[in-house]
Structure formats: C-alpha cells, structure tokens
Structure 1
Amino acid sequence: MAVMTCGSMVEALPAAYERLHAYGPEFGGDEEGNHGMTNHGPMAVEVMVRRGLDIDVDGWLDRYVRRLAGLPGTSRAIQPDDWGAALGQARRLPDWAAYFRHELTGRPWSEVLGQWWPRLLPGIVAGSTHGVIRVGHAVRTLRGTAGAPARQTLDELAHGLAFWAARYRRLAGTVAPAGTRTPGQVLSAVTRIEDQSGFIAHRLDRLERSPGWTANLRALEPVASAEEVPARLESLVDSAARAYLGLGHGSPVLLVHAATAPNAVRHVLPVLPTEQWLPSFAAAWAAVVAVVATYAPPRPAPCAEIVRRHPELTREDALQRAAEHGDEHVLKFADTAVESYDRTGDPELLAATRYVGELIDRP
C-alpha cells in the first residue's frame, strides 16, 4: 500500500473538501448546537488520500454526508480588533469561517496560522479536541502540497480554525509539568473524575474542580528546551496510542483523541515559530490528561491478552483493515498508531489498531 505522492494529494483532496464545505463541523445536538457530533469527513478523507488506502472516497462520502447538517449563513463579521469577544461563541461559527477565508486569501497560510495558533491554543479542548485535530490534518495537506495550495485546501484550514475559535473552551487550573515521570507512567495512573456521566462539557467542568487535575499535569517530567519538544511530543503520542489497549474499552470513540490530538500538534509544530513549541507541548499534554481523566475506565483491560489475539500484524495490514472497517475514528487512530509504530517498531501499536476496530462498530 503506497503513500500518495504530493501530486496525487493535490488532485484528489480539493474535490472532497469542496463537497464537505457545504456542511457544518457538527450535527445533531440541542437548539444551540451544543452536544452534537463532529463532522470527521475532512479529516478522514485526508487520511484515505495521503495513505493511498484502498477505499472508494466518493462512495464513502456518499454515505457519510447523509448524516451531516448544512453550514448556516453568516450573521455579522468578526472584527479584527474585537475577535476575543467572539471566541467560544458557537453561533458565530459561520462568521469565523468567513473571517479566516478572508485572512487566508490575503496572507500566507503559515503566517495566519502562526498568528492564531497561540490565541487558540489555551482552548485546545474545543469541540472535544476536534478543532486542533482538523487544523492538523489541513496543515498536513498544505505541507504536502508543491506550489500554490488549492483554494479548497486553504478553505479547509479556514474551517478548522473557525471550528476551534467558535468552540473555544479554556481549561482552568492548568499547570506546567514539574515531575519526574514519563508520559506512559503518568497516563497509567491518571486520577479519573468520580462522575463520568454526561457530555464532555459537563465532565470538563467537574475536572477543573477535581483535586487530581493539577497533580496529574504536574507529574510529568518537564521539557527543558524547545529543541526537546519534537521528540517529547512523539513520545507522548506513542504512549497515548499504546495506552488505548488498556483504556479504550471505557469510551472507544473519545479515547481515540488522547492520541490523535497531540499528533495533530506534532504535525503543525514544524511550521510554527520555535517560541511556540513549549506552550504547544504543554497544551497537548493538558488535552491528553483531560481526555483520559474524564473518559478512561477505573480498571485497565488485559493488554497482553489483547496483543496475543493479533499476532504478526503488519503495518500494511493495520491500514488496510482500517480502510475495510470504514469508521472515521478507526481510520484516524490507525494513521496515528502506524506512525508511532514506524518510529518505535512496537507491535502493541499495531494491535491497538485492530482493537479500536473491535470496539467501534462498522458504519
């Protein structure tokens, strides 16, 4: 299974993006648009195309778009000198999309991203971390594009930034790592909130009031310099993907994002100014801990037994089985876990790609 070339990505993705941009980033939910499901279409097709997966993208979209809701019209323009007032205003999402489309028409995309990344970073849990994840997938497309990017690809970055801004949700009580533990050691011992009922917004409210929240964040060994951030982010992604084996059964869909959110940050990192690297790592760590603390089960599954069920799995097998499964979360998690496997050679990561397919129903 060959990874698509830059030219192939340029040819295949714009049409899919164009089709998906008629729809909003969420569907379902209440009359305010809260507590709905996230539109994973753009993120999933980016994985399909970049990985060159044996899957009919148009057919997948035919099925997927039937569940989506149309993107509402704009109400009033976001003002450059008063953008802070519109952060976290879900009803302003179309206005945010229009704002970012305008910004990306007149300025280089990396410049716009570099300006807005630190503004949005404190709200990294926006939309259950889907804001940063969608931006990360768009940036991967842009980084893989030779020459001027297609309008639809720039529009995809605009939609990702707009979703992040409209669903901006700052976590109170965040502190910098100051401990001695590795990501894997901390994630295996994260203090869960006692009441894990309800939507993620309700759980995050409880998390901020819980005594273990800051202690969990502080337990990680700090990053000494910006130069260490890329390797430390990779270690965090690897640990979170591996942890899914033990934790995934607690909330198969939500716990996928403990790995995919920091991986999105990792792929954006190279286009950010170096001074933004340390805050990016701290935000990624907070997002991972927040997801685990609010959704992980009290007792882990028997990881060794799960791994034994999937012997001699290859990376090609893992990606192909994800394509055959067809669920958007399975596709995104397999993409992340295979990247981790390519770095580490750890077969547990490939087993995790099969396990997520067992836990999440086929569409």
Structure 2
Amino acid sequence: MLQAESALGPAGPYPDIAVEAPLRALIGEVGRRSGEFPVYLANHLPMVLEAMARLGATTSRLEEFAEHYIGTHAVPFPPLAVAPVNEASWLSALGDRARETDLRNFFETVVGRIGREAAVRQYLPTLAPGVAASATHGLMRLAYALLRSDDTEVAASLGYWAATYLAYEGVPADRERAVTDPLEYLVDMRSEPSLYGLNAPTHLLWKWIEAMGKVPEFHQRLGRMAAGPDFLDLIRPAALSLYAGTMSFEALHAVTGCHWLRLVSPYVDEPQYLVMHFWEVVFALYTKIDMPLPPTKDLMEAWRSLPLPDDQAIASAAVASNDEHDHSLVFSAFEEYRYTGDRLYKVAAAKRLRLIE
C-alpha cells in the first residue's frame, strides 16, 4: 500500500521528544487498573495516552487527562484474584470478568517465559473468535501494546481479552465460505426485514453484539465469508465508507478496528481469520445504526476534495478534547491515511472534531 506522508512528519513517534519516558511511566501506572469501568465500559486510558502523545500532547496534558479520566469514570483496579490458572485451566476462565486478575497473572507468566510476540502468536488463534470482547477493545489494547513493544501491556491486554471474551457460538464449521465482497454482503443484510427495528438490551455495544447472535436470521449469515490473505484490505475501504456516510459511534469502531487489526496482523500466522471475526462484529453494529446505504463513489470523491485544516490543527484539536474517541479516531485516521493515501481519513477526522461541516 502507499505510504503517504503526514504533515506531522516521520521524525519519530512523539512530536514532543520529552514525553517518552514520563508517558511510559504513566501508562505503566494506569495500566494496573481494570480493562473496564462501571458498568462494563471499556477503559481506553492506556491506549489513548499513547495516541495523544503521538498526536503531540505534552507531558502535562497527558497527566491532566489521565487524572480527569480516572476521576470521571471511577476506573477501578481489577477484582481480587479467585484462583490461579495455568495452561491446562485458563480456558475455564474465558469470558469471566471476575477472573481478570487470574488471567492477567497467567499471561504475565507466559509473556515472561516465551516473550510477547510468541505469546500473541500462540494464544490469539484461540482468542480471535471472541474479538467482540469488551466491544473489540481487547483488540485495541493489544494493538497499542504491540505498537509500544510493551510486555506488561501485552499481558494485560491478553488477560482483558480473555476475561471479556465474546464469540458467536453454534456456527456450523461446514458452512460454505463463498462470500468474497464484505461490503456487498454487509449491505445485503438490508434485504432481511427481521433485522430492522431491533431493541437494544442496553446502551452497551458488546451487549448489542451479543444479542444479535441470538437472532436466527442474523446467525444464518455468519461463517460464510471466504477470508483470504487480503481480507483486511477489502474491509478497510468498506469501514471508511460506512463511517464517512454516517459519522456514527458504531462505525467509528469499524475504522479504528481496521488500524488495530493492521498492528496485530504481523504477529498472527493467519490474520485473515481474526479479520473475518471482526467484520462479523461489524455486521451487528450495522443493524444498530439501521443499516444505511453506503455513500456513492461520487459523493465520497466530493468529500475527499473538501478543504481541510492542516494536520497540526486536527491533531491539536484532538489532544485538547476530553473524549477518548476523538483521540482514538484521529490517531487511527492519520495512521490509515499514511498507509493508504486516502484523504477521506483526514476529512473524517476533521468532521469528527467539527472543524469542517
């Protein structure tokens, strides 16, 4: 793919070179807290601190935001350990939030023994079907941990993913995988009347994802995609078009998720299967936003031509925000722009921050 340059420059990960050491210490401190805060909401703090620093935040801004975030959300420490798990027993704790500490401890031992890259390669095939964990934020935390080459955060993210594991069960292994166009297959859901007007069990994305797995007409659509090695390259523009057309909270996670998948993929032998499970989560989120048609190619081209603030202005607006989804979206959009050269990522970032209409 094209490696487009950002006006923020390729000189290093942090525009403020003084931020690296205090950032590492700050993430180490906040990373000891749980992966979620009440009630079952994803703790973005370790990840967005990294994103903010790479967008140009100063040490004082990072410390200020961390204090604000922990105070506002009452981010707790993980629950007390229940009982140790090992290689033979860790699967018994899968999907049990009460076992977050036990699972973190297990993966700390694993990473310490075989290293972070080998740990991800060994355990992610088991965790991949449950990528909906904490509304895909287990994936987010792992992606940022790998971006930072942070052993402690890799172990914490694997434990968090395992404790919040959420998979679609009961999909027959022998279903024919013949679907090759992920966007076309997504839009085809519009033809099923039973997928309209569904009631959300709560405001939580992961509860909606979980509930969709119990809808027969939805479940019938699972396990049918032919996921080749280029599957991430197929869903990336589909996710961007969905977000550009809706600017919705749900579609935002499809865009950022493609960035996280790109960061994690080099550490997985067959990453297309992780990507496939992620796109099935997007199926569920599509029903939550009432399954709109994607924007036309002409409309997207018109958006790509919109005048934009410079990169520094977009980055500064994101850093100044107290909304973790602003930091997440803008950083991922900049990184996906650098990878693809698609200016629509910057347009989406500027729109998210209300810098353009």
Deviations 1:61-102 (A, max 9, x none): 121111212233212111221111110111000111111112
The aligned residue for residue 290 of structure 2 is 297
Match of 1:329 among 325, 329, 344: 325
2:204 counterpart of 1:197:
no
Separation in 2, partners of 1:122, 1:72: 25
Q: CA, structure 1 residues 170+310, in 2 after alignment: closer, same or farther (shift >3 Å)?
A: same
CA distance in 2 between partners of 1:176 and 1:319 (Å): 45
What is the distance in 2 between the residues matched to 1:128 and 1:188? Answer: 21
Pick from 52, 58, 72 the counterpart of residue 56 of structure 2: 52
Alignment of 1:152-191 (within 5 A): 153-172=150-169, 177-181=177-181, 183-191=182-190
Name the residue aligned to 1:37: 41
Does the 8 Å contact 1:248/1:255 carry over to 2?
yes
Q: Is the 8 A contact 1:101 1:155 kept in 2?
A: yes
Counterparts in 2 of 1:63 and 1:300: CA distance versus 1, 3 Å: farther
Structure 2 match to 1:215: 221
- 1:351 maps to a residue whose letter is V
- Whole-Å Cα distance in 1 between the matches of residues 344 and 289 of structure 2? 19
* 1:215 aligned partner, one-letter code: R
Q: Work out whether 1:88 is the aligned partner of 2:95.
A: yes
CA distance in 1, matches of 2:207, 2:62: 35
**Cα pair distance change 1:177/1:51, threshold 3 Å:** farther
- Structure 2-normalised TM-score? 0.80
Q: Give CA deviations for 1:234-288 in whole Å, capped at 9, x if unaligned.
A: 3422331331122334xx2x33212222321211111223xx2232232232232
Helix, strand or coil: the match of 2:124?
Answer: helix
Quickly say closer, same or farther: Cα 1:4–1:196, change in 2 above 3 A. Answer: farther
Structure 2: runs of 5+ lacking an equivalent = 1-7
Q: Is the 2:36–2:42 Cα contact (8 Å) retained in structure 1?
A: yes
Deviation digits for residues 193-237 of structure 1, max 9, x if unmatched? 53142234542344222414543764x6x344xxx33xx413422
Residue 320 of structure 1 aligns with which residue? 316
- Helix, strand or coil at the partner of 2:221: helix
Distance 1:321 1:255, change over 3 A: same
> Are 1:99 and 2:103 an aligned pair?
no
The reply to whether residue 28 of structure 1 matches residue 34 of structure 2 is: no
- Tell me, yes or no, if structure 1 residue 120 matches structure 2 residue 124: no
Q: TM-score, normalised by structure 1?
A: 0.79
Judging changes above 3 Å, is the alpha-carbon distance between structure 1 residues 101 and 245 closer, same or farther for their aligned structure 2 residues?
same
- Are residues 1:258 and 2:254 paired? yes
Q: Partner of 2:308: helix, strand, or coil? A: coil
Structure 1 unmatched runs, 5+: 30-35, 143-152
Q: Provide the residue aligned with 2:23 in structure 1.
A: 13
Structure-2 separation of matches of 1:176 and 1:154: 39
CA gap 1:349/1:173 in 2 versus in 1, 3 angstroms: farther
Matched, 1:285 2:248: no
- Separation in 2 of the partners of 1:19 and 1:236? 35
C-alpha separation in 2, matches of 1:281 and 1:176: 18
Sequence identity of aligned pairs in percent?
A: 22
C-alpha spacing 1:280/1:105, structure 2 compared with 1 (3 Å): same
Q: Is the 8 A contact 1:337 1:353 kept in 2?
A: yes
Q: Displacement, 1:103?
A: 1.7
Equivalent residue number for residue 238 of structure 1: 237
Shifted more, 107-116 versus 237-246: the winner is: 237-246
Query: How much has 1:119 moved relative to structure 2?
Result: 1.1
**RMSD of equivalent CA atoms:** 3.1
8 A Cα contact 1:237 1:340, kept in partner: no
**What amino acid does structure 2 have at the position aligned with 1:116?**
Y
Alignment check: 8 A CA contact 1:177 1:282 kept: no
Name the CA shift for 1:217/1:358 in 2 (closer, same or farther; >3 Å): farther
Q: Is 1:79 equivalent to 2:86 in the alignment?
A: yes
User: Letter of the aligned partner of 2:137 in structure 1?
Assistant: H
Q: Structure 2: which amino acid aligns with 1:288?
A: V
Q: Which moved more, 1:259-268 or 1:342-351?
A: 342-351
